[in-house]
Structures are given as structure tokens and as C-alpha cells.
């Protein structure tokens, strides 16, 4: 059923808002759930009912908008004048956009040299005060916590309780779109907030009687940043998937509990597996997501090979961000010959082998 109600209104009964909460909306949520056409067969699982939740189709191109609409609305309600976040990129783009709509000042601390180009362009164009920190994401988040302790700033990272409350809505939408909960949900893990939020959402829907069951949650860290899988923080996290290049996840405990309570697991995938899945999505399904998002599909492929997924399972892979966020990874990965060809028919036919 189509609705253009703001996300917060649509799921108001599950969210910490009142009639007095000013709603700051950019048209977030309501993202497509698209069924795979070719990938199940390609990975030898032709009976799999596989769906992609296209979170890159949110207004700033990532799932962060679901939590940000609520975090910024609540900041406005509380009389805040300025917000701040550390970010691997997507949080900063989302915070900057919602803050400008709300008339709030927005500071963003980005790990210098480790943020995809599109995300940086967004934060700058939306008018945020962008600071490139000489340090990684974990150090930036630590600085944000310290700054907020001293200065009148509202933190809009996922340590802000309203962020995960807003992000629960993705689980609601999946159940509404499928008509039931899937059996498995595959999702990338960085700061570990999103997997925690999905679990809250699926549990809340079951409690309310809107879903009969909950899925097993399978979360995937990048191998070079896999703190939860290894069991200790990683001081110098590394991965090509810069969005999840996080060595000490803020929602570590809640995420670990969500995975185990749901009957799932937090696991890791290598950069090579992530990039394989990234290309497979583009070339089998016409889906361009960012590398970090492809960690969910890399995880699915890994677990299908391990034989842990029933052949006829109903699986949702969350594709958290749009591929256009990170054009450099695409261009560096797939070498194209872009030498100009003269505008002459015979020459063109030769080049096109027609
Ligand atoms: C595309 O923007 O942490 O496990 O600062 O951008 O909830 O952290 C981004 C994270 C997955 C991981 N996919 O989600 C940030 C940031 C994409 C992301 C994640 C992120 P969490």
C-alpha cells in the first residue's frame, strides 16, 4: 500500500514521539524490496527466495536517514542548536542534510583520507562544518564524545538512542512488504548499530502480533576490522569497505546479543569476497551498491557454501548504501578502455565489432 506519510508518522506507535514532536523529514524510508532474478542460480541455490532491501534509495543514499529523521526531530524538540557526529561518511551526509532542513548547525569529524568521495561531497554541499581528523573513525568518535561532554552539542551518532529507534523501521517495512518475516536477514556490520536496530524492530513487530516469527540475523564485518568476530578491538582497522572500517563498534554487546538471540551469528568476509559480491550484484541484478553493503551478499555466498542455509529459505540481504557514493572503487576495480573513438560510422562499427 502506497503512503507518503513521513516514516515517523507511519510507525508512530513504535517510536518515542508525541504529537508535539516537530517532524524533520526528507522523504526517508519506503525503500524497495526487490527479488533477485539471477543470483540464486549463479551461486547454485536456485530455490532460494532472495530479496534485496535497497536502502541506498533513501534521500541521502543510505539507511542512516531512518535514524536521522528521528534523532534530528528529537534534537529540535529538545531545543538543541547544533549537532555533531563522527563518521565513515554516510552518517555525516545524513546528519548534514537533516540538520540543514531543521535549521541546526552540523559538525562532522571524518577520518582523513578514508571517506568515499560522494559522501564527502554531500556533507560539504549540504553545508556541514566538515573537519578531516588525522585519525581513524574510532578516534573521531572518541573526540566527539569528549567535545559533547564540554560543549552544547547533540551527538547524532548511533550512541544517540533515537538513531536505533528510527532504524527499527526497516525491519517493519520488510515484514510489511513480504507479508511475513524472512527466515534469514544478512546485513553488514560496522559500528554494529543497524543489526541491533533490526533485532529491536523484528522483536517489536512479533510482540505486537504483526509478525508470527523473527528471522535469524547474520551480520558481517570486514575481516580487517572484525573486532566482534575476533573478540577484541582492532587498533588499526583496514578494509576497502571504508563505511565499515571500524575497530571498536559502539553497539558491540547489543549486536552480539541480537545475533545469538535470533539464532544467527556475527561473522566476517574478506575484501576479495566483498568485491566479488559487489560485482556480482551489478552484473546479475543491475544493482549498484557501495562495497560495504555488498558484505551482506558476500556473507550469504559464504554461508551457502558452508551449507548452513536451507535451500528454500527466504532471505533478505540489506544493501545499506548506494553505489554512487563511491565511484572511485568502481572505476579502480573494473578497468574500462575510455580512449575516445572518432565519430565515424565505419570506425565505430570496427570498435564495436558489429
Ligand atoms: C553503507 O556513516 O558508521 O553497523 O559513520 O555506511 O550500523 O555501523 C556507517 C556504517 C553499513 C554499518 N553500510 O552500519 C558512518 C557509519 C554502510 C554504512 C554500515 C555503515 P552499522
**218 beta partners:** 186, 265
| High-pLDDT (> 70) share of the chain, % | 99
Ligand 1: does its nearest atom lie under 6 Å from the Cβ of 91?
yes
Architecture of domain 7-61+164-332: 3-Layer(aba) Sandwich (3.40)
Ligand 1: does its nearest atom lie under 6 Å from the Cβ of 69?
no
Q: How many helices (H) and strands (E) does the chain have?
A: 15, 10
The yes-or-no verdict on residue 263 having pLDDT over 80 is yes
Mean pLDDT of 150-157: 97
Q: How confident is the model at residue 23, as a pLDDT? A: 97
Mean pLDDT of 298-305: 97
Residue pointed to by grid coordinates 529507534: 165
Q: Which residue has the higher pLDDT, 49 or 2?
A: 49
Residue 210 Cα to ligand 1 middle (Å): 28
Distance CA 297, CA 110 (A): 27
Looking from the CA of residue 86, the nearest atom of ligand 1 is 5
Distance CA 60, CA 222 (A): 24
- Name the phi and psi angles at 87, rounded to 5: -160, 145
Please name the residue whose Cα sits nearest to atom 14 of ligand 1: 190
8 Å CB contact between 247 and 236: yes
Q: Which residue has the higher pLDDT, 335 or 101?
A: 101
Cell of 85: 557526529
Domain 64-162 coded CATH 3.40.50.1100:
yes
The yes-or-no verdict on residue 3 having pLDDT over 90 is no
The yes-or-no verdict on residue 1 having pLDDT over 60 is no
Ligand 1: does its nearest atom lie under 6 Å from the Cβ of 313?
no
Distance CA 164, CA 323 (A): 23
Distance CA 154, CA 72 (A): 9
Q: How confident is the model at residue 4, as a pLDDT? A: 81
End-to-end CA distance of the chain: 46
The yes-or-no verdict on residue 2 having pLDDT over 70 is no
Mean pLDDT of 250-266: 98
Looking from the CA of residue 55, the nearest atom of ligand 1 is 1
Domain with CATH 3.40.50.1100 in the chain: 7-61+164-332, 64-162
- For residue 42, name the pLDDT band (cuts at 50, 70, 90): very high
Ligand 1: does its nearest atom lie under 6 Å from the Cβ of 144?
no
Ligand 1: does its nearest atom lie under 6 Å from the Cβ of 138?
no
Please name the residue whose Cα sits nearest to atom 18 of ligand 1: 243
- For residue 335, name the pLDDT band (cuts at 50, 70, 90): confident
The mean pLDDT value of the chain amounts to 97
Ligand 1: does its nearest atom lie under 6 Å from the Cβ of 60?
no
Amino acid at each position: 500500500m502506497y503512503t507518503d506519510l513521513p516514516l515517523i508518522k507511519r510507525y508512530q506507535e513504535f517510536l518515542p514521539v508525541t504529537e508535539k514532536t516537530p517532524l524533520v523529514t526528507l522523504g526517508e524510508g519506503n525503500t524497495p524490496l526487490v527479488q533477485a532474478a539471477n543470483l540464486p542460480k549463479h551461486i547454485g541455490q536456485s530455490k532460494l527466495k532472495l530479496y534485496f532491501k535497497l536502502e541506498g534509495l533513501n534521500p541521502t543514499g543510505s539507511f542512516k536517514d531512518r535514524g536521522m529523521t528521528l534523532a534530528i526531530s528529537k534534537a529540535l524538540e529538545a531545543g538543541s542548536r547544533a549537532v555533531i557526529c563522527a563518521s565513515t561518511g554516510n552518517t555525516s551526509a545524513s546528519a548534514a542534510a537533516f540538520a540543514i532542513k531543521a535549521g541546526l548547525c552540523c559538525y562532522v569529524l571524518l577520518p582523513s583520507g578514508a571517506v568515499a568521495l560522494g559522501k564527502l561531497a554531500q556533507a560539504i554541499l549540504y553545508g556541514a562544518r566538515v573537519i578531516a581528523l588525522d585519525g581513524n573513525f574510532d578516534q573521531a568518535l572518541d573526540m566527539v564524545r569528549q567535545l559533547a561532554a564540554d560543549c552544547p552539542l547533540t551527538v547524532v551518532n548511533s550512541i544517540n538512542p533515537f538513531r536505533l529507534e528510527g532504524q527499527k523501521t526497516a525491519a517493519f517495512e520488510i515484514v510489511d512488504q513480504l507479508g511475513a518475516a524472512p527466515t534469514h536477514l544478512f546485513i553488514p556490520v560496522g559500528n554494529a548499530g543497524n543489526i541491533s536496530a533490526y533485532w529491536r524492530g523484528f522483536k517489536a513487530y512479533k510482540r505486537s502480533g504483526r509478525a508470527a516469527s523473527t528471522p535469524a540475523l547474520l551480520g558481517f564485518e570486514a575481516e580487517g576490522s572484525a573486532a566482534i568476530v575476533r573478540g577484541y578491538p582492532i587498533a588499526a582497522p583496514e578494509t576497502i569497505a571504508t563505511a565499515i572500517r571500524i575497530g571498536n563498534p559502539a553497539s558491540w554487546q547489543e549486536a552480539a546479543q541480537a545475533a545469538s538471540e535470533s539464532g544467527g551469528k556475527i561473522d566476517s568476509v574478506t575484501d576479495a569476497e566483498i568485491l566479488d559480491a559487489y560485482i556480482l550484484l551489478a552484473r546479475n541484478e543491475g544493482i549498484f551498491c557501495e562495497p560495504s553493503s555488498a558484505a551482506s551478499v558476500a556473507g550469504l555466498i559464504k554461508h551457502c557454501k558452508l551449507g548452513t542455509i536451507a535451500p528454500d529459505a527466504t532471505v533478505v540481504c540489506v544493501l545499506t548504501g548506494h553505489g554512487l557514493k563511491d565511484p572511485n572503487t568502481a572505476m579502480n576495480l573494473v578497468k574500462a578502455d575510455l580512449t575516445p573513438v572518432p565519430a565515424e560510422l565505419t570506425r565505430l562499427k570496427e570498435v564495436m565489432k558489429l
